[in-house]
Structure 1
Amino acid sequence: MDAGVGKPPRHHLTSIRHCASSARIAAAAAASSPDYGLDLGTLSLISPTDVRTGFLPVFRSGSCAEIGPKSYMEDEHVCVDNLIEHLGGRAAGIPAPGAFYGVFDGHGGTDAACFVRKNLLKFIVEDMHFPTNVEKAIRGAFLKADHALADSHFLDNSSGTTALTALIFGRRYTVFDGYLNGQLAVARALGDWHMKGPKGSISPLSAEPELQEIVLSEEDEFLIIGCDGLWDVMTSQCAVSIVRKELMQHNNPEKCSGELVQEALKRDSCDNLTVVVICFSSNPPPQIEIPRSRVRRSISLEGLHLLKGALDSNA
């Protein structure tokens, strides 16, 4: 699974491949900075600089999921545009705005992907390190979900899932990715205990996620999270270009997700298809105007006299 980040076109298109990252806290550096009036260790993410620039993202999302050419659907996804509202009484101490998104690419059945979709956010919020240390909370939640799949008598613990998830607070977002190798051609996965062996044993499969942290700027327009069914047939640059063009026309992230899925089907994707598009503004991307190059024209004094003579002779 990959994620692409949309920015205005430049000489190259910026994208994040293979794992994206949510807004976690650059805890040590930021907490020690005198520019912050509040301790970043408590996830107080709005700094005086943020206030001066006046930029805070507004989250809007849309998703599309299709079974594709397969005979069964194993993907799951989640979109939470307003984390405070979603968590209700459990949202104490969490800064706004906040959001949570994920795509879970299941294999060996639907049990693992469905379980992780329903429980991963809950495990993050319930972790003892949340919200003071979001990175530890995320890692703990992944391992808790993995062990819950192994211990459950009601779920098929031979099923597994990869996960690409974004947790956003204010301008900072953390994308965490679990993805495995070996038989499954991936690097990290939840579940798949028939391949991992007993807990604590050495295994080619790991449930511990890779994390990336990014600070959003006004140039960051949207984020694309998708499963392999999309990225096997499309580059990040292609997906970003399609979404930006569609947003400029109708400003609807759900339609953009559907457009990416349909384009992947046209390109003969052979897997389930799930795409989530997250916009960071209520406005569509601005029209990019490329200034025309100004070509200087000059004429020599001799040429000027010749031209003047020609004009005079025609007068």
Structure 2
Amino acid sequence: MVCQMEGNSKVSGGGENGSSSDGRPPNPLNAAYRNCFSSSRVSSTCRKTLVRHPSLVKTPEIPIEPLTMIEGETEFLPVVRSGAWTDIGIRSSMEDVYVCVDDFTTQYGLEHITEVPNAFYGIFDGHGGKHAADFACCHIPQYISEDEDFPREIERVITSAFLQTDNAFAEACSLDAGLASGTTALTALVLGRLVFLNSSSIC
């Protein structure tokens, strides 16, 4: 096996440090590996080298032609399913919220938009109360579904939904100080084979 190390090529067979030739890390029980260290834990018989796993070595980029569909062949589409579980831990109240919508377009009345499997998932880690997490959980998917550019401009639509949610919650807090709280938000929007992830904080 040839490993790229600091710009040099090196052929490694049995491995000086007890590693095997199949790319696995060295075996600490191997005699050759144990001899690398003296009682003072200083390298004695082994050379200090940086060994990089082949998967970490940058290879030249190879241009890939776009795939074309063969007539009669169907494109792979995933089956979307989800599950969720929460645990309050040692806290006195739960401030975290999640949402799992396995059929996003149907749930929000957009069946005509797309026929590919679609879903929306979100985790909202509230702090200083649960109000912001509840608000974001309800409003982010709503703002996404109501945007006239959905699903054509997904990135802009998701960013806009987060901004609208933040502004709307800030306005709600200005009218009712009892709502004051915050949340982090991590969402995933699935459209066919694509997953759009977004992470942000609200108020």
Q: TM-score, normalised by structure 1?
A: 0.40
The whole-number CA distance in structure 2 between the counterparts of 1:139 and 1:155 is 26
Contact 1:96-1:170 at 8 Å conserved across structures: yes
The whole-number CA distance in structure 2 between the counterparts of 1:165 and 1:105 is 12
Contact 1:150-1:157 at 8 Å conserved across structures: no
Given candidates 65, 87, 92, the residue that maps to 2:86 is 65
Residue in structure 2 matched with residue 190 of structure 1 by the alignment: 202
Is 1:158 matched up with 2:170?
no
Is 1:75 matched up with 2:96?
yes
Question: 1:53/1:96 Cα in 2 relative to 1: closer, same or farther (>3 Å)?
Answer: closer
SS of 2:83's equivalent in the other structure is: strand
User: C-alpha displacement at 1:128, in angstroms?
Assistant: 3.3
SS of 2:149's equivalent in the other structure is: coil
Contact 2:131-2:180 at 8 Å conserved across structures: no
The whole-number CA distance in structure 2 between the counterparts of 1:94 and 1:148 is 28
In structure 1, the gaps of 5 or more residues are: 1-10, 13-32, 36-47, 179-188, 192-315
Is 1:147 matched up with 2:147?
no
Is 1:91 matched up with 2:133?
no
**Larger RCO: 1 or 2 (CA < 8 Å, sep 6+):** 1
Residue in structure 2 matched with residue 116 of structure 1 by the alignment: 136
Q: In terms of mean alpha carbon deviation, does 140-149 or 127-136 score higher?
A: 127-136
Give the share of equivalent positions with the same residue, in percent.
42
SS of 1:91's equivalent in the other structure is: coil
Cα RMSD between the aligned structures? 2.4
Q: Which has the higher helix share?
A: 1
Residue in structure 2 matched with residue 102 of structure 1 by the alignment: 122
In structure 2, the gaps of 5 or more residues are: 1-23, 25-52, 54-65
Contact 2:126-2:132 at 8 Å conserved across structures: yes
The whole-number CA distance in structure 1 between the counterparts of 2:141 and 2:77 is 23
Contact 2:105-2:113 at 8 Å conserved across structures: no
Give the number of the structure whose alpha-carbon radius of gyration is greater. Answer: 2
User: C-alpha displacement at 1:146, in angstroms?
Assistant: 0.2
Residue in structure 2 matched with residue 129 of structure 1 by the alignment: 149
